[in-house]
Amino acid sequence: MRDTFIEELTKIARNDPNVLLLTGDLGFGVFENFRKEYPKQFLNVGVAEQNMSMIAAGLALKGKRVFTYSIGNFPTLRCLEQIRNDICYHDLNVTIVSIGGGFSYGALGMSHHATEDLSIMRALPNITCVAPSSLEETKDATFQLYKKKGPSYLRLDKSNASYDKSENFILGKALKVREGEDVTLIAAGGVLQEALKAAESLEGSSITSRVLSMHTIKPIDEDAIIEAVKKTKGIITIEENNILGGLGGAVSEVCMERNLRPLFFKRLGMRDEYSSVVGDQDFLRNHYGLDHVSIATHVRKLLSDI
């Protein structure tokens, strides 16, 4: 996803000198071509993410279209006050890019596990929050966030899902990547690949799964959620994030405010805990019950309990 993002941003910068990329002393190999081709559109601010956010706000006030970049929690939680007070309050054209969503940097421990960012960033007024699931979604999201006015958060993953795309990517509109009638699996980010594997395995038990890539957490696609409640028996959300306030919280809010009651509803994610275990992304998904085997097990149990 990281490489896809910078490839698309390079194309955008070629035609718009107002596009600026700021990094917190990271991504040198990835940004090498961008830096050489557009030296006046690239700035390494050093290990100073709070300053990076304030610089981005100042540049945006002067008409620039700014992208800030760092890994895990560094471009978000480390400088939350600056994002809130400087970028979001003034509704500025700044996209905060975090590479390393969820357990992407699993071997580096909880300081590098981004498992609260979706909840926290979603709570900020004016901001659009996007967690693409595939490389193609990443490309489309980068371009559409560039065209969109106002602050945005782009959460990129080390993993990515692969599926046959039949719908156009539109911010705020979920992508239906698989049809089914028994359960709806709603995922954000690369963990969509686990939902797709679960859906495939469930077919052997004659269970059909609707799978949605809810790439935009805010604004969330209410129509897709309403349709899922009406046309399938229940909903399971999957996210490499705390279940409090993240994707699962957003989906449940839509259901409750619309007085919709699926036959079952389950949020899969971090259950109000820190990811204290160290390991690669696949290992951590398995440990915290976000792998395809765990998802399929939940589906079978919830359907049997109806």
> Which whole number is the average pLDDT over 95-102?
96
Fold of 2-156: Rossmann fold (3.40.50)
pLDDT exceeds cutoff 80 at 188: yes
pLDDT at 131: 98
* For residues 102-110, average pLDDT: 93
Phi first, then psi, for residue 178 (nearest 5°) are: -160, 140
49 among known catalytic residues: yes
In this prediction, residue 56 has a pLDDT band, given cuts at 50, 70 and 90, of very high
* Residue 282: per-residue pLDDT: 96
Confidence of residue 166 (pLDDT cuts 50, 70, 90): confident
SS3 call for 218: strand
pLDDT bucket at 72, cuts 50 / 70 / 90: confident
- CATH domain 175-304 topology: Rossmann fold (3.40.50)
CA distance 119 to 94: 19
Q: Which of 37, 49, 203, 253 is catalytic?
A: 49
CB 141 within 8 A of CB 213: no
Q: How many CB atoms lie within 10 A of CB 43?
A: 18
Split at pLDDT 50, 70, 90, the class of 109 is very high
pTM, full prediction? 0.96
How far apart are the C-alpha atoms of 57 and 102, rounded to whole Å? 26
Chain segment 267-291, per-residue pLDDT in tens: 999 999 999 999 999 999 999 999 9
pLDDT in tens, 196-245: 999 999 999 999 999 999 999 999 999 999 999 999 999 999 999 999 99
112 band by pLDDT with thresholds 50, 70 and 90: very high
End-to-end CA distance of the chain: 39
Q: How far is CA 29 from CA 11, 120, 143, 145, in A?
A: 18, 30, 22, 24
Which pLDDT value is given to residue 178?
97
Please determine whether the domains at 2-156 and 175-304 fall in the same fold group of CATH: yes
In tens, the pLDDT along 6-29 reads: 999 999 999 999 999 999 998 778
pLDDT value of position 85: 98
Domain edges within the chain: 2-156, 175-304
How many beta carbons lie within 10 A of that of residue 261, not counting itself? 10
